[in-house]
Homo-oligomer: A and B are copies of this chain.
């Protein structure tokens, strides 16, 4: 159950329909999950996260799979925000937020990501069609650019959403 005030929260994941808020990366129903949260920041999107102590690769550095997960949910969240805006809606206006899934994920690890810093994924909507969005992301550890991501996100197909009901 989501206890957030939906008239106030700028985070798209807080507005996902209950049935589709079980994602390990960003679903508010998933108790064991990571609970990534994505919002607009001007024309960019942003997701900030502090990795858990166990999220390491080699000691002192963040696990790449965690970074890929962050970019994944950040990008599907960014796509949801962009589709919702394109449809003429704002968060909290009572219209369900479109739920997206990832068709392609690419992550370039430019330099090792130090553990202990806040990670900030900053997204740019590269293209937005009727059903498909391309999101480019720069990931910072503190102020340092460490990773670049690119995701093709698509509206979740009915074959997936029907099974969830």
Contacts and interface: CB of A to CB of B under 8 A. Distances in A.
A23 B63 contact: yes
Q: Report how many copies the assembly holds.
A: 2
* Dominant secondary structure of chain A at its interface with chain B: mixed
Nearest to A110: B103
Interface residues of A, number: 46
Interface string A68-101: 1110110000000000000000000000000101
Interface stretch (A7-15, A54-62, A123-131): A54-62
B163 A61 contact: yes
A73 B66 CA distance: 12
B65 A25 contact: yes
B65 A69 contact: yes
B108 A103 contact: yes
Given A72-B68, A160-B61, A56 B24 contact: yes
Given A101-B64, A107-B104, A163 B58 contact: yes
14 contacts: A19-B59, A23-B56, A24-B54, A24-B57, A25-B57, A64-B105, A65-B68, A69-B69, A102-B107, A104-B109, A106-B106, A106-B107, A112-B157, A112-B159
Given A61-B163, A104-B106, A105-B106, 7 more contacts: A19-B59, A22-B58, A23-B63, A25-B65, A31-B54, A104-B107, A104-B109
